[in-house]
Amino acid sequence: MEKQALEQLNQAVQVLLKDARTQVLAAMGQTLTIDEKTSRKDLVTNVDRSNENFLVQRLRQLDPQARILAEEGLGDQVETLAGHVWIVDPIDGTMNFVHQRNHFAMMIGLYIDGEPTLGYIYDVMADKLYAGGPIVGVTLNERPLPAPRDAPLAEGLFGASGPLLIHNKYQMQTIAQTSLGPRILGSAGVQISQVLAGELVGYLSYLRPWDFAAGRVLAESLGLVVSQVDGTPVNMLSSGAVLVATKSAQRAILAIVK
């Protein structure tokens, strides 16, 4: 896609997300319908579904030939990354959404023939929209976002996952103790946005494609690195332990994990 067309698409997706936010805020004034998916700690609500439906429909209008991989299954069956693939998480941090009415995000990523192209993380209650990609640049609420400093692990706070920290998977306790301290927020979107903003030097969690598709685009555009926990490239169509970090922090973490 040409740069001008991408810039138009970038603007249109931001408008779409603001419309979605208005609808989500209105829906939060109504009673939620909450269902368990795989366990009592894995929830889905009517708002996840209605917002996914809204996002998928609007993305189809913007990009009719594309395929859409969406968390709650209202998009397409996507088995390759050929052409335009949008990856959508309508409410990331559903547990926070239900129990805190706060600290959750909408996320959208666009991959073109597998190339990270556009990414959006929208922290709904803080009204912070991280947007863009390697060609159009990265903005926070429409203002250019500077790349974070390449801070070492020992000089920054580290975004952890509760289960991985408790069970010390991937040496996460050592990683946390090498850093200035762990932070757990319960939303990949919110925590990856804190890495983008330089508030965390890294984030490691078990993630599904929609949890990190947007974040990968934005992070790589800002000179951060996104990899599996052994340092190998991520695959946008599978789940696993994913690390988003500064280059320096990634080096320290890979040395701890191996």
182 near a copy of itself, judged by CB under 8 A: yes
24: tokens are 């989500």
Q: Which of 7, 16, 18 is nearest to 58 (CA)?
A: 16
189 near a copy of itself, judged by CB under 8 A: no
194 near a copy of itself, judged by CB under 8 A: yes
- Residue owning tokens 């192209």: 117
Q: How far apart are the first and last CA of the chain?
A: 39
Gyration radius (Cα) of the chain, Å = 17
185 near a copy of itself, judged by CB under 8 A: yes
Name the segment binding a copy of itself (CB under 8 A); options: 51-59, 112-120, 174-182, 226-234. Answer: 174-182
The correct pick among 162, 235, 247, 255 for binding a copy of itself (CB under 8 A) is 162
The correct pick among 100, 141, 235, 239 for binding a copy of itself (CB under 8 A) is 100
Binding mask 109-138 for a copy of itself (x = CB under 8 A): -----------------x------------
147 near a copy of itself, judged by CB under 8 A: no
99 near a copy of itself, judged by CB under 8 A: yes
Name the segment binding a copy of itself (CB under 8 A); options: 22-30, 67-75, 93-101, 250-258. Answer: 93-101
Name the segment binding a copy of itself (CB under 8 A); options: 13-21, 134-142, 156-164, 232-240. Answer: 156-164
Residue 237's Cβ-count burial label (10 Å; 0-12, 13-18, 19+) is middle
Binding mask 197-226 for a copy of itself (x = CB under 8 A): --xx--------------------------
Q: Tell me how far the alpha carbon of residue 98 is from its chain's centroid.
A: 19
The correct pick among 116, 186, 189, 202 for binding a copy of itself (CB under 8 A) is 186
What is the spatial distance between Cα 201 and Cα 179, in angstroms, rounded to a whole number? 9
What is the spatial distance between Cα 248 and Cα 231, in angstroms, rounded to a whole number? 13
Q: Which of 102, 145, 100 is nearest to 120 (CA)?
A: 145
Binding mask 51-90 for a copy of itself (x = CB under 8 A): ----------------------------------------
What is the spatial distance between Cα 86 and Cα 60, in angstroms, rounded to a whole number? 10
Q: Which of 254, 252, 255, 230 is nearest to 151 (CA)?
A: 252
CA distances to 136, 184, 196, 229 from 172, rounded to whole Å, are 35, 12, 21, 11
* Least distance from a copy of itself to the Cβ atom of residue 257, Å: 17
Size of the site for a copy of itself (CB under 8 A): 31
